Amino acid sequence: MTKEKAPSIKVPLLDLKAQYQRIGAEIRRAIDEVLESQQFILGKTVRRFEEEAAAHLGCRHAVGVASGSDALLLSLMALGIGPGDAVIVPPFTFFSTVSCITRLGATPIFVDIGPQSCLMDEKKVEALLAERCKPAPDGQGLTESRSGRRIKAILPVHLFGQSCLMAPLVTLAQRYRLRIIEDVAQAFGARAPLPRGEAKYAGAIGDFGGFSFFPTKTLGAMGDGGLVATNRQDWAEKIRILRHHGESSKYRHEAIGLNSRLDEIQAAVLSVKLRHLDQWVGERIERARLYLELFSATGLLGDRILRVPTPDAGRSHVFNYYVIHVQERDGLKNFLSQQGIQTEVYYPAPAALLCLSRPPAGRFSQLRAGRRPGPRPSYLSGARTRAARVRG
């Protein structure tokens, strides 16, 4: 029996070759400089990119790390979050947002997303803090009444390129003396207004901002990479120590840290790409405007296509992903595949349903749907609802 040939890809999910054709000469020169220097770990190229990133974001400090996942993990470690603590997080996000919390022995408290934006619903966060929490005995933070765990931080996720409504979250954090760690893996370049009305870049608003430079991001490396942004010098220094095995000086280890360093070659690539970021973001926004115009003109919007991404008031969108909500997701995905158009589902299930099970002795943990990690997570207001999307 002859196997049916898969259709050729005419429109890939992501075409990095097109981007490289535009800036390839710049990239090669930057990499050659690193190769000539033969300095590959935490040298002048990383320091230069950290300074450029901080200047672009409008924050005081930026620290390069190995990945976006490590950026979140190191931020939680810098705050001393661990067993007995809890972090408020949305259930609709990539798995590592939540696993960074549970691997430290802390508990994720899932607060549901808004149905239109797919972002953490700040009103539900306020309801949780007001109705299910009480001041901790020492006056530092809050204690969640059901679990008895101390809530230390809020971890909003700027998803698909759209910024969360940060002003109300900042107000809540100040009122209840909580920290904010922003997950900006998918939204480098997005902005959000603050309580006084001024807008700042996502990631430079909370206490920490965790960025990913995975190649698919608006600012992507040629491999893995990440960044922690903060406005406090002591926290920046703590991140620098923790990213290098907790080492403050040669062979002096003040903490148990990670081996999580942004390397020189990736920093060189990112410095080049950062110079083009504003132009690329503008092009993404223009394409999204064209999609909206075409979907509306065809009459598909509101019929077979339920929603397309349009920024809500108070949010900006850099369209890292263009995610649509449709009536027949799998049917549309299969149809587009037959036409040679790649799409992907973001996400098949909420992170709240993807947890590490306890492994048998001597075995690695297995990833299974519906199994919970050691600290039992808490849920608020339907956080288990499935919310899968097609991206093209």
Residue 124 or 196, more confident: 124
| Cβ neighbours for 1, distance < 8 A, ≥ 6 positions apart | none
Q: Does the residue 328 lie in any domain?
A: no
Mean pLDDT for the chain?
A: 88
Q: Does the residue 297 lie in any domain?
A: no
Q: What is the mean pLDDT of residues 81-96?
A: 95
Q: Residue 173: which CATH number?
A: 3.40.640.10
pLDDT band for position 113 (50/70/90)? very high
Q: 208-212 and 179-183: which strand pairing?
A: parallel
What is the reported pLDDT for 68? 98
Q: Does the residue 367 lie in any domain?
A: yes
CB 388 within 8 A of CB 349: yes
Percent of the chain whose pLDDT exceeds 70? 88
CB 226 within 8 A of CB 69: yes
Q: Does the residue 219 lie in any domain?
A: yes
What is the reported pLDDT for 387? 36
Residue 120 or 145, more confident: 120
What is the reported pLDDT for 383? 34
The whole-angstrom separation of Cα 39 and Cα 41 is 6
Structural domain of residue 255, as residue ranges?
21-271+348-391
**Structure tokens given for 219:** 């600012």
Give residue-wise pLDDT tens across range 167-221: 999 999 999 999 999 999 999 999 998 877 788 999 999 999 999 999 999 999 9
Q: Does the residue 29 lie in any domain?
A: yes
Closest CA to 159 of 26, 317, 267, 37: 317
The whole-angstrom separation of Cα 239 and Cα 120 is 26
The whole-angstrom separation of Cα 153 and Cα 181 is 7
Q: Does the residue 295 lie in any domain?
A: no
Total domains in the chain come to 1
Give residue-wise pLDDT tens across range 285-318: 999 999 999 999 998 888 888 999 987 766 799 9
pLDDT band for position 5 (50/70/90)? low
Q: Does the residue 94 lie in any domain?
A: yes
The whole-angstrom separation of Cα 292 and Cα 305 is 11
The whole-angstrom separation of Cα 324 and Cα 362 is 43
3-state secondary structure 200-247: EECCCCCCEEEEECCCCCCCCCCCCCEEEEECCHHHHHHHHHHCECCE
Q: Does the residue 141 lie in any domain?
A: yes
